[in-house]
Amino acid sequence: MGPKAISIYELFDLLKDYPKIEMLWRGIPKGSFGFIFGPAKSGKTILCENLGMMLAAGQDDLLESGLLPANHNVFYISLEEFWQARTGRNLKQIEALQERLKLLRIGKYKVVDYEFPRNIVTDDDWLILEKVIKESESDIIFIDSFTRLYAGEIETSRLAKAVAGRLRDMAYKLKITLIAIHHSTKLYKQPITMDALAGSRVLAQEADFMIGVSRGIYGQRYVKDVAYRYSPEEDDVVVFEINDDLLVEPVEICSELSLFNQGDGRKDETNTNLVLDFFQEQKDGGSETVATGELILKFVDTEVMSRPTLFSQLKKLEKRKKIEKIQKGIYKLI
């Protein structure tokens, strides 16, 4: 028998036997296909490597956004970089994560070898791609980048639909989450939108999620919910930094428009001064140390500033030699 019309209540009954859709990170559902996209040098690749490693490590947070802690197997397919440069960066990242977390299961994070094709264009190339994904036994796949999967202009709707549709079908067939890294058109220092995605009109139809990574007018890197099929988008963006170990760290949560304010470029010191004043007040009151719990109670629980903003102020004050961390979660005024 072929397809037929049925009562919606039959599907309600069927739905009871299916697990609830779970989000891996932000609005990325398990078993879906979509894009993380943005302009060159915005930090897309490093962010995605961090995301993959943290999922493989079973962690529950990245950039103040919850991760689904499960027994994930992650496969990162890099088609953009020569393997030696990429592997050197990954070594630095993983060594830092192991030291910090003691939890990274190295075997859970896999990459392509140096013989893997740099472009996936012919049918034979696509068969190799699918075969290697199957053999990796991974449930989360990153492809860096989407531009390596076609020859021609992706703005051509027929080409965009063919390539994105092929990836979407592969994700559903193999029961994997497939995250494609893609480039945006030039933004000229303006907020990132769906229209910035190269080939956006057709690609958006095929994608279950679209997450933007871009830079503000003064170079601040940030992550933005652009469009989700199964989750509401957050209005604010997460500003992040890439540290010396090539790991991403949250700086603050703010409106995207605030990153494009045409002011004089000087940073607002209001939050920094509030935190420093609190340390001084505690010392004047006889307390030589301040715990992060006290700071959260004072500033986060009262909605004076967000949690990532608070911790970015602590790092700033440490760098300026105003405070020092004497043990985990405990600081003192210098």
Residues 255 and 297 in one domain: no
Task: Reply yes or no on whether the pLDDT at 207 is more than 80.
Answer: yes
pLDDT by residue (tens digit) across 53-74? Answer: 999 988 999 998 999 988 899 9
Measure the CA–CA gap between 135 and 75, rounded to whole angstroms.
10
Going by the DSSP 8-state scheme, the letter that residue 19 receives in this structure is P
Same domain membership, residue 79 and residue 39: yes
Question: Residue 1: its pLDDT value, please?
Answer: 67
Q: What is the CATH number of the domain that holds 197?
A: 3.40.50.300
274: which 2 tokens?
């509030």
Sign of CA pseudo-dihedral 78, 83, 84, 90: positive
39, pLDDT greater than 50: yes
pLDDT digits (tens, 9 = 90+) for 257-266: 989 875 544 4
- Domain assignment of residue 9, yes or no: no
Q: Considering all CA atoms of the chain, what is the largest pairwise distance in Å, rounded to the nearest integer?
A: 81
Question: Is 207 within 8 Å of 221 (Cβ atoms)?
Answer: no
Task: Examine the domain organization and report whether 162 and 33 are in the same domain.
Answer: yes
Domain boundaries, position 289? 270-333
Q: How far apart are CA 46 and CA 42, in angstroms?
A: 9
User: What pLDDT does 264 receive?
Assistant: 43
Give the pLDDT confidence of 154-167 residue by residue, as tens digits: 767 788 888 999 99
21: its two tokens: 């859709």
Q: Domain total for the chain?
A: 2
User: Above 80 in pLDDT, residue 133?
Assistant: yes
- Whether residue 100 has pLDDT greater than 80: no
What's the first-to-final CA gap in the chain, in angstroms?
77
Same domain for 138 and 283, yes or no, is no
**Last residue in a domain, options 259, 286, 312:** 259
The pTM of the full predicted model, rounded to 2 decimals, is 0.77
Residues 249 and 292 in one domain: no
Q: How many CA atoms lie within 13 A of 325 on its CB side?
A: 11
d(CA 168, CA 224): 22
Where residue 215 falls (left for φ over 0; alpha for ψ -120 to 50; beta otherwise) is: beta
